[in-house]
Chain A
Amino acid sequence: AQSVTQPDIHITVSEGASLELRCNYSYGATPYLFWYVQSPGQGLQLLLKYFSGDTLVQGIKGFEAEFKRSQSSFNLRKPSVHWSDAAEYFCAVGAPGGFKTIFGAGTRLFVKA
């Protein structure tokens, strides 16, 4: 069965510092992988997605993620965090041709001045 694990419930980084949010997935083949961001009281916004090809994918707002098949990971990174990045981040996995996208429990990012 597909599953997604986000090991960090919350992370605090200083503004301007780099960020890495971890995501591990369980799936029998190469799934479709996503990162979404949710600001308080809002729906989820797609940051980036991986389907195939280059394992380093670029997204919006300066985010990138790297797919590592050997580690079943899809970690999200940003070189310099801005205060406006404070939000909840969700990693998600979908099966090619499938209808269900499975989300992790999320990592809440706090940014300190």
Chain B
Amino acid sequence: ETGVTQSPTHLIKTRGQQVTLRCSSQSGHNTVSWYQQALGQGPQFIFQYYREEENGRGNFPPRFSGLQFPNYSSELNVNALELDDSALYLCASSLVVDGANVLTFGAGSRLTVL
């Protein structure tokens, strides 16, 4: 089975710009979650998509948005980039079974905002 793949692996943007990060889910998974991991911290939940709809969101402003496509791949969009948006962005796919959400992570996209 294929794992979770993310692109790009690294990118550099300037403050105020917009960025799109992409994620392909593991085969058979129908749910995608996005996490932000700042340097030296644990991953922070941004949002989750199930059946192409957002079904949960963490404490992130509306300039963080996402999409899930019919093939369960996903995008994370961040508008009006700020310096504090510099982080590793992790995508995780899952198949919720009996209420249990077990995440399979990609290697992440490292975003640097200058």
Contacts and interface: CB of A to CB of B under 8 A. Distances in A.
Contacts of B40: 105
Nearest to B56: A99
Interface residues of A, number: 25
A103 interface: yes
Query: Max chain B CB contacts within 10 Å: which of A41, A43, A98, A104?
Result: A43
B104 interface: yes
Nearest to B4: A43
Given A96-B99, A100-B58, A43 B105 contact: yes
Given A51-B100, A99-B101, A100-B58, A43 B106 contact: yes
A47 to B, nearest CB: 12
A101 B101 contact: yes
Interface of B: 4, 31, 33, 35, 40-45, 48, 50, 55-56, 58, 90, 92, 99-108
